[in-house]
């Protein structure tokens, strides 16, 4: 049977099109129940026949049909094991797909799990359940009618066969419930149904509706606090089209909860941002939302503040049953006023400022954090504080407050109505105790969106069977380098060896240099579960005590890893170089190698220095070393930048896994040697694959930072009388080299650290998507660059391997490899994963540092990295960490600092009395851990030397070490010993 779907659509140009589509109605769609004898025998039947009713509200066994809003908003409730034999109509699934991708994915997962007995009923194409839209009926009403029709049809279909299985409709919509009852269908609201299930924790998971109350009850709360209304979607679209409003991504400020930015362009660079200040202007936007902003007239533009402000709960913060946010309004207004009056950093001009008038798309996800319980004992409404600073507090309703204090929990936001100061959400699950290392690690991984589950069976099935042997077929396709003296140089304890090198003299006086990289693309084939998992993970994540692998252990530590004394597959780049390190030839091939030694850096260095050793491998190392030095000089001449960054390494107690000591990583000559050859391989491969596959090569670029980025660097150097030129990379490198003080060797290093902060991010991209001039890697001063040398721990390298294999004819292509849109999407994902992995790594270091300082306080050397209006950023080189030393109190907060400081923005100094603290000055500080805020424990430094009376710490007196209070009461602020 055939009907038509006719509707009108407006094109971009404004024309109205009449779209006519066929709509076939079928007779072969089954009801999905095993018990049914009438439906087509070919159809799938996941629904059970004999089972118990899940809820006491319905006597017999029954199938559940939820409506769209239930699935959309209450997905966490449906995920519970108690919900089985659920029929999801096609109408619901289609709506989900359009509105909320995560809920759609969840439903699809549940449909796939056999034990849950979920069935997707294709009601739109079923002869008896297709519902046409009546004239004047809204789309929502039509969908509701369709779902009710499904229930009605299935009920009579089963009843006709004499089966006693009922079909029950679940909906929270009042009208739908009433209509259903009128039509004689069994229907319940979710709360009624769940109430009869005998699982109180499920009731908690029921989320609150958009108007701030569950189940559509009329709102009785006092509305003292009101955010401005959001504009309707039509008004927003009209505004954007006319140019009056702009849309962009909202980025909350980490340090200041009253401030945020909206990035109008695609990149997150500084040039296209609008400042938003004040709660009313922020108007309920949450980090990463796509918002619509109205830019205020120029007279109202302000500067971004340099003040650090946290939304900390005050002692007298009462959180009632009734949402009495009135007091908060007053407090907030005071803070905002002080914010506006605070002086800003010199040189920072007024920015375009605006206010948010609507949200286009919410980007809410489940957040980790802790519960800040209400002062009232029997209260059910509590505030949840997220671990991520940029997320506001969330109000949730739970009966288990007592059980949840002191634990890390996961909460999801449901809505943010106008009258609520905070967004409303619901509890999802518990992770474990606060402070427990494993739980904190878990939080870290969740917050940084790092997939860390063990590899699924589907992925493990893709691994090769052991024992793995090299067949003659393999040998015929590869070059045999097993007799060549290759060796690898890696950090101690490294199990995933990516690369091996060799060097030999050629008869014509040149050298043959081989860079052999683990041939991961041989084991990971496209379109397998293993490949998909690796693509999602994107990179191996290195935490202090843990390594989240991108690929399973069998490959990363065994079959792919170039371990010594075993035959391994490799992808080799063989270069011919003259004595002056000039590359005269490059060849790429798949090969088999047998590494002779797996050195650590120290061992390799020792071998080079040991004059007695004259074997092949050592000679090769020496050749590599001397060539590397020449190559480095050449690179520096070309304008490559050499910036410092502090990498630290923790020595961990083997039993408790708590950190014992901290060491900064040292750099030996051999580190540089390996680095040079990796760079050479990367850049040669980049050029080669670009020439062969110019439209889809995966390359890496480092965009030139805008000149404004370098302002902090230029000012910092100017305070000591050095002039840094920032017009091009070469000049920057040279002027950085010149800016050094003999008496203070650390000054230059610090300057380089500041320079690192000014850089933009290096990113992966697909060569077909941008112009050739933009391929430049600024930091390395290379026109082409990519990542090729670490496929075990980076997915981008694996793709480059595949591209190179196609280019040399050693492997077949597949469509996604050559599709530049797909490659660019992959690059975007990899960039995101890479960034998250970096943040996670740093957060792990921070976590460990905090654990290390838990019961200590130490005197350390520190260097002032930045001078701000109210604080100093102090770098502790031993730990590679930065801390904030406040010199002024927070506006509106307690006044604790008694000594007045004067800030000079031009000279970057803070003066108190006759002591001046300058940028890059070395000071001595006492370091301890401030554990008052459980989630955001921070390192606190107090000034010891130079001694400022009334401010600096007197080291004679012992310090109180405060323990955090465990009874869940909000803490009193720790007083500082003076």
Partner 1 sequence: MSGHQYLSEEGFRVDGRRAQEMRKLDCSLGVFAQADGSAYVKEGNTVVLAAVYGPHEVRGGRVKALHDRAVVNCQFSAATFSTAERKRRPRGDTKSVEMTLHLQQTFETAILTKLYPRCQIDIFVEVLQADGSILSVAINAATMALVDAGIGLRDYVCACSAGVFNDAALLDLNNLEESQKGTGLTVAILPKTERIVLVDMSSKIHSDHVSKTIEAAIEGCKDIHATFDAKIKERVGRLAALINTEN
Classify residue 114 as left (phi > 0), alpha (psi -120 to 50) or beta.
Answer: alpha
Show the site string, 272-311: x = touches partner 1 by CB under 8 A, - = not: ----------------------------------------
Q: Which of 34, 82, 101, 770 binds partner 1 (CB under 8 A)?
A: 101
Where do we find the tokens 């007045």?
Answer: 900
Backbone angles phi, psi at 526, to 5 degrees: -65, 160
Piece of the chain touching partner 1 by CB under 8 A; list 95-103, 332-340, 617-625, 763-771: 95-103
Judged by beta carbon, residue 17 or residue 977, the one nearer partner 1 is 17
CB 764 within 8 A of CB 700: yes
- Strand order of the β-sheet with 922-930 is 881-886, 871-876, 858-867, 922-930, 938-945
Judged by beta carbon, residue 24 or residue 832, the one nearer partner 1 is 24
120 near partner 1, rule: CB under 8 A:
yes
118 near partner 1, rule: CB under 8 A:
no
Show the site string, 62-91: x = touches partner 1 by CB under 8 A, - = not: ----------------------------x-
CB 356 within 8 A of CB 291: yes
Least Cβ distance, residue 829 to partner 1 (angstroms) = 16
CB 963 within 8 A of CB 855: no
Piece of the chain touching partner 1 by CB under 8 A; list 13-21, 241-249, 314-322, 735-743: 13-21
Q: In sequence order, which ranges of 492-642 are alpha helices (DSSP H)?
A: 520-523, 529-537, 553, 601-609, 616-638
Least Cβ distance, residue 806 to partner 1 (angstroms) = 14
Judged by beta carbon, residue 11 or residue 508, the one nearer partner 1 is 11
Q: Which of 53, 57, 80, 97 binds partner 1 (CB under 8 A)?
A: 97
Query: What residues are paired with 965 via a beta bridge?
Result: none
241 near partner 1, rule: CB under 8 A:
no
d(CA 657, CA 544): 10
820 near partner 1, rule: CB under 8 A:
no
111 near partner 1, rule: CB under 8 A:
yes
Residue 780 neighbours by CB distance under 10 Å: 20
CA max distance for the chain: 98
Judged by beta carbon, residue 23 or residue 437, the one nearer partner 1 is 23
The end-to-end CA distance of the chain, in Å, is: 87
Piece of the chain touching partner 1 by CB under 8 A; list 9-17, 436-444, 549-557, 603-611: 9-17
Virtual CA dihedral for 734, 739, 743, 747, nearest 10 degrees? -110
Least Cβ distance, residue 100 to partner 1 (angstroms) = 9
Judged by beta carbon, residue 814 or residue 832, the one nearer partner 1 is 814
Judged by beta carbon, residue 97 or residue 399, the one nearer partner 1 is 97
Residue 4 neighbours by CB distance under 10 Å: 9
Judged by beta carbon, residue 249 or residue 596, the one nearer partner 1 is 249
d(CA 765, CA 193): 51
Judged by beta carbon, residue 3 or residue 966, the one nearer partner 1 is 3
Positions in 169-208 near partner 1 (CB under 8 A)? none
Show the site string, 18-57: x = touches partner 1 by CB under 8 A, - = not: xxxxxxxxx-------------------------------
d(CA 836, CA 813): 30
Least Cβ distance, residue 24 to partner 1 (angstroms) = 4
Least Cβ distance, residue 85 to partner 1 (angstroms) = 18
Helix axes 90-99, 101-112, angle to 10 degrees: 140
Least Cβ distance, residue 768 to partner 1 (angstroms) = 14
Assigned token pair, 872: 């100093």
> Closest Cα partner for 814 from 531, 520, 462, 516?
531
Q: Which of 15, 299, 645, 743 binds partner 1 (CB under 8 A)?
A: 15
2 near partner 1, rule: CB under 8 A:
yes
DSSP-derived letter for residue 449 is: T
Least Cβ distance, residue 93 to partner 1 (angstroms) = 8
468 near partner 1, rule: CB under 8 A:
no
d(CA 892, CA 342): 12
58 near partner 1, rule: CB under 8 A:
no
Assigned token pair, 197: 């299930």
CB 893 within 8 A of CB 336: no
Piece of the chain touching partner 1 by CB under 8 A; list 71-79, 104-112, 829-837, 902-910: 104-112
Where do we find the tokens 């091939």?
Answer: 589
Least Cβ distance, residue 132 to partner 1 (angstroms) = 14
Least Cβ distance, residue 535 to partner 1 (angstroms) = 17
525 near partner 1, rule: CB under 8 A:
no
Q: Which of 67, 76, 124, 498 binds partner 1 (CB under 8 A)?
A: 124
Least Cβ distance, residue 2 to partner 1 (angstroms) = 6
Q: Which of 39, 57, 79, 108 binds partner 1 (CB under 8 A)?
A: 108
Total binding residues toward partner 1, as defined by CB under 8 A:
26
531 near partner 1, rule: CB under 8 A:
no
Least Cβ distance, residue 26 to partner 1 (angstroms) = 6
Assigned token pair, 843: 């957060």
104 near partner 1, rule: CB under 8 A:
yes
- Strand order of the β-sheet with 62-66 is 118-121, 86-89, 62-66, 166-170, 186-188
Judged by beta carbon, residue 29 or residue 282, the one nearer partner 1 is 29
Least Cβ distance, residue 10 to partner 1 (angstroms) = 12
Query: What residues are paired with 479 via a beta bridge?
Result: 591
d(CA 436, CA 833): 26
Least Cβ distance, residue 523 to partner 1 (angstroms) = 21
Least Cβ distance, residue 815 to partner 1 (angstroms) = 4
> Cα–Cα–Cα angle for 744, 748, 752, nearest 5°?
155
Least Cβ distance, residue 423 to partner 1 (angstroms) = 23
814 near partner 1, rule: CB under 8 A:
yes
Virtual CA dihedral for 435, 440, 441, 445, nearest 10 degrees? -170
Q: Which residues contact 726 (CB under 8 A, 6 or more apart)?
A: 707, 710, 713, 714, 732
Positions in 491-520 near partner 1 (CB under 8 A)? none
CB 609 within 8 A of CB 616: no
11 near partner 1, rule: CB under 8 A:
yes
Piece of the chain touching partner 1 by CB under 8 A; list 100-108, 154-162, 397-405, 660-668: 100-108
Piece of the chain touching partner 1 by CB under 8 A; list 12-20, 333-341, 686-694, 826-834: 12-20
CB 260 within 8 A of CB 282: yes
Q: In sequence order, which ranges of 809-919 are alpha helices (DSSP H)?
A: 815-818, 820-852
Give Cα 193 distance to the centre of its chain.
Answer: 37
Judged by beta carbon, residue 13 or residue 241, the one nearer partner 1 is 13
Piece of the chain touching partner 1 by CB under 8 A; list 97-105, 197-205, 556-564, 797-805: 97-105
d(CA 355, CA 519): 53
- Judging by DSSP bridges, how do beta strands 567-577 and 511-518 pair with one another? antiparallel
d(CA 649, CA 346): 37
Judged by beta carbon, residue 496 or residue 811, the one nearer partner 1 is 811
Judged by beta carbon, residue 570 or residue 766, the one nearer partner 1 is 766
Q: Which residues here bind partner 1, judged by CB under 8 A? A: 2, 11, 15, 17-26, 90, 97-98, 101, 104, 108, 111, 120, 122, 124-125, 814-815
């Amino acid at each position: 049977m055939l009907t038509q779907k006719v509707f009108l659509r407006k094109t971009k140009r404004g024309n109205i099109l009449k779209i006519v589509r066929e709509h076939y109605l079928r007779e072969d769609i089954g009801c999905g129940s095993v018990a049914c004898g009438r439906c087509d025998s070919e159809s799938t039947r996941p629904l059970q026949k004999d089972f118990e009713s899940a809820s006491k509200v319905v006597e017999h066994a029954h199938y559940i049909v939820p409506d769209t809003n239930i699935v959309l908003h209450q997905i966490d409730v449906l995920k519970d094991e108690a919900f089985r034999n659920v029929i999801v109509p096609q109408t619901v699934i289609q709506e989900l797909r359009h509105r909320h991708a995560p809920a759609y994915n969840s439903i699809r997962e549940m449909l796939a799990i056999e034990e849950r007995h979920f069935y997707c009923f294709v009601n739109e194409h079923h002869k008896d359940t297709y519902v046409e839209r009546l004239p004047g009926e809204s789309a929502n009403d039509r969908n509701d009618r369709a779902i009710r029709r499904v229930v009605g049809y299935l009920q009579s279909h089963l009843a006709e066969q004499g089966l006693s299985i009922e079909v029950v409709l679940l909906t929270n919509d009042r009208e739908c419930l009433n209509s259903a009852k009128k039509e004689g269908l069994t229907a319940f609201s979710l709360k009624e149904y769940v109430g009869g299930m005998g699982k109180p924790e499920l009731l908690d998971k029921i989320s609150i509706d958009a108007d701030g109350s569950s189940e559509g009850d009329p709102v009785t709360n006092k509305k003292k606090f009101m955010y401005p209304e959001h504009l309707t979607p039509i008004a927003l679209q009209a505004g954007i089209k006319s140019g009056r409003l702009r849309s962009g991504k909202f980025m909350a400020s980490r340090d200041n909860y009253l401030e945020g930015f909206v990035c109008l362009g695609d990149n997150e660079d500084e040039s296209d941002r609008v400042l938003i200040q004040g709660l009313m202007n922020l108007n309920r936007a949450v980090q990463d939302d796509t918002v619509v902003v109205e830019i205020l007239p120029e007279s109202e533009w302000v500067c971004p503040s340099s003040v650090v402000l946290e939304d900390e709960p005050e002692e007298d913060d009462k959180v009632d049953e009734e949402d009495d946010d009135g007091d908060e309004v007053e407090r907030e207004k005071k803070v905002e006023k002080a914010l506006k009056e605070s002086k800003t950093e010199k040189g920072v001009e007024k920015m375009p400022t605006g206010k948010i008038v609507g949200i286009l798309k919410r980007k809410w996800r489940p957040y980790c954090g802790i519960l800040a319980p209400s002062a009232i004992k029997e209260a059910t409404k509590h505030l949840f504080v997220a671990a991520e600073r940029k997320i506001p507090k969330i109000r949730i309703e739970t009966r288990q407050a007592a059980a949840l204090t002191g634990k890390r929990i996961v909460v999801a936001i449901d809505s943010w109505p106008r009258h609520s100061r905070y967004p409303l959400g619901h509890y999802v699950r518990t992770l474990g105790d606060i402070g427990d290392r494993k739980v904190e690690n878990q939080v870290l991984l969740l917050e940084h969106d790092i997939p860390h589950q063990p590899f699924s069976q589907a992925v493990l099935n893709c691994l090769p069977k052991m024992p793995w042997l090299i067949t003659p077929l393999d040998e015929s396709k590869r070059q045999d380098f097993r007799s060549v003296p290759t060796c690898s140089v890696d950090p101690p304890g490294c199990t995933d060896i990516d690369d091996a090198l060799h060097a030999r003299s050629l008869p014509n006086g040149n050298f043959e240099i081989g860079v052999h990289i683990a041939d991961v693309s041989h084991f990971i084939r496209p379109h397998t579960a293993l490949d998909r998992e690796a693509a999602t993970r994107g990179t191996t994540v290195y935490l202090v005590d843990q390594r989240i692998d991108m690929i399973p252990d069998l490959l990363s530590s065994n079959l792919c890893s170039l371990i010594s004394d075993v035959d391994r597959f490799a992808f080799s780049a063989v270069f011919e170089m003259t004595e002056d390190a000039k590359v005269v030839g490059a060849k790429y091939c798949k090969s088999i190698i047998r590494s002779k030694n797996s050195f650590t850096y120290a061992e390799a260095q020792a071998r080079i220095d040991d004059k007695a050793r004259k074997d092949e491998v050592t000679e090769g190392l020496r050749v590599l070393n001397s060539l590397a030095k020449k190559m480095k000089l050449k690179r520096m001449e070309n304008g490559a930048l050499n910036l410092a960054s502090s990498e630290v390494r923790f020595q961990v107690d083997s039993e408790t896994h708590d950190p014992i000591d901290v060491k900064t990583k040292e750099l030996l000559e051999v580190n540089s040697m390996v680095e040079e050859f990796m760079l050479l391989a990367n850049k040669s491969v980049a050029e080669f694959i670009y020439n062969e596959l110019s439209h889809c090569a995966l390359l890496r670029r480092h965009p030139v930072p805008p000149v404004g980025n370098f302002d902090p660097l230029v000012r910092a150097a100017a305070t000591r009388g050095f002039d840094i030129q920032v017009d091009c990379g070469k000049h920057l490198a040279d002027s950085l080299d010149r800016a050094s003080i003999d008496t203070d060797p650390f000054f230059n290093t610090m300057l380089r650290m500041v320079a690192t902060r000014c850089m933009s991010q290096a990113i992966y991209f697909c060569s077909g998507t941008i112009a050739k001039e933009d391929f430049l890697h600024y930091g390395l001063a290379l026109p082409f660059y990519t990542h090729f040398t670490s496929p075990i721990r980076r997915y981008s390298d694996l793709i480059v391997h595949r591209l190179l294999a196609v280019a040399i004819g050693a492997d077949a292509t597949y469509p996604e490899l050559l599709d530049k849109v797909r490659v660019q999407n992959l690059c975007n994902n990899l960039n995101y994963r890479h960034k998250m992995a970096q943040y996670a790594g740093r957060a792990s270091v921070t976590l460990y540092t905090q654990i290390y300082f838990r019961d200590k306080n130490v005197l350390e050397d520190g260097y002032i990295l930045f001078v701000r209006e109210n604080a100093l950023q102090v770098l502790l080189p031993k730990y590679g960490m930065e801390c904030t030393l406040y010199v002024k109190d927070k506006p509106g907060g307690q006044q604790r600092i008694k000594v007045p400081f004067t800030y000079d923005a031009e000279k970057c100094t803070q003066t108190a009395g006759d002591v001046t603290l300058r940028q890059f000055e070395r000071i001595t500080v006492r370091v301890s851990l401030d554990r008052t805020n459980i989630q955001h424990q921070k390192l606190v430094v107090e000034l010891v030397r130079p001694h400022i009376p009334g401010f600096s710490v007197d080291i004679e007196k012992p310090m109180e070490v405060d323990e955090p209070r465990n009874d869940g009461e909000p803490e009193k602020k720790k007083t500082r010993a003076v």
